[in-house]
Amino acid sequence: MEEILKLFSLKDKVAVVTGGAVNIGRGISFKLAAAGAKVAIIYNSSNAQALDISAGLKKSDYEHLLLKADLTKEIEVIDAIRKVAEHFGRIDVLVNNAGVFGLSIQHELAVESWDEIFNLNLKGLFLCSREVLKLMMKQAEGGTIVNIASINGMHPGFGMTAHYDASKGGVIAYTRSLAAEVAPFGIRVNAVAPGLVDSENLRKFAPDLASKVEKRTPLKKLASPEDVANTVLFLVSKAASHITGEIITVDGGYLLT
């Protein structure tokens, strides 16, 4: 049993989670902290949620760092990653979770909306990866990166999401290409592609969509933030030490239908 637990232990590891204060990111932050990691949470507009998760982590005596940064701005990303490195001395794990969703008929889509999606979902992911890789490539133990993609990047969504789907398709392609590039440095890069993830906001603002997807899903339930967080923990752990360039779907079998 002890050997099994060691496989999933992140003791003495430092993890950065972008968008780590809400929803999926919150679940990931807590999960990695519970596994022993020192967690740096980068957030932007979720001020109240950031303070809330910080209080929760403190209550559990989990070592963490809270940083505010706009990941679409290069200078702020550089500064945030520098602060993490200075505070903890190293970075072993990066979870590129921060992202934005959008609905629009494409012939009515504003350029600003297109840019908003791609600036965070791809540009922000690239900037964070670039800065963290500079550190990981100097570390004897390398590191691991997990990108949060979406099944929409693998299969057309529910309509009105072509711009979002394209951005997540880009995340998947970037993940696979980057994995091959940095493997010689002992750095693994994978992605998790969730289906629709359950939340209070989803049930409140899109109950019909939630019900429709739930009924179509073979497991007859939506993924929870913890389902995604468990998969991330596996991918950054020693249990997945020979896995890189993979896209793991967490959709309850939705893509099978």
Active site positions, annotated: 164
Helix (H, G, I), strand (E, B) or coil at 89: coil
Q: Which residue has the tokens 């030490």?
A: 241
- The Cα 62–Cα 15 span in angstroms is 12
Q: Where are the alpha helices (DSSP H) in the chain?
A: 2-7, 23-34, 47-59, 74-88, 111-118, 125-136, 162-182, 200-205, 207-216, 225-236
Helix (H, G, I), strand (E, B) or coil at 36: coil
Paired with 197 in beta bridges are 223
CB neighbour list of residue 209: distance below 8 Å, 6 or more residues apart: 158, 196, 202
Helix (H, G, I), strand (E, B) or coil at 14: strand
Q: Which residue has the tokens 């990981």?
A: 136
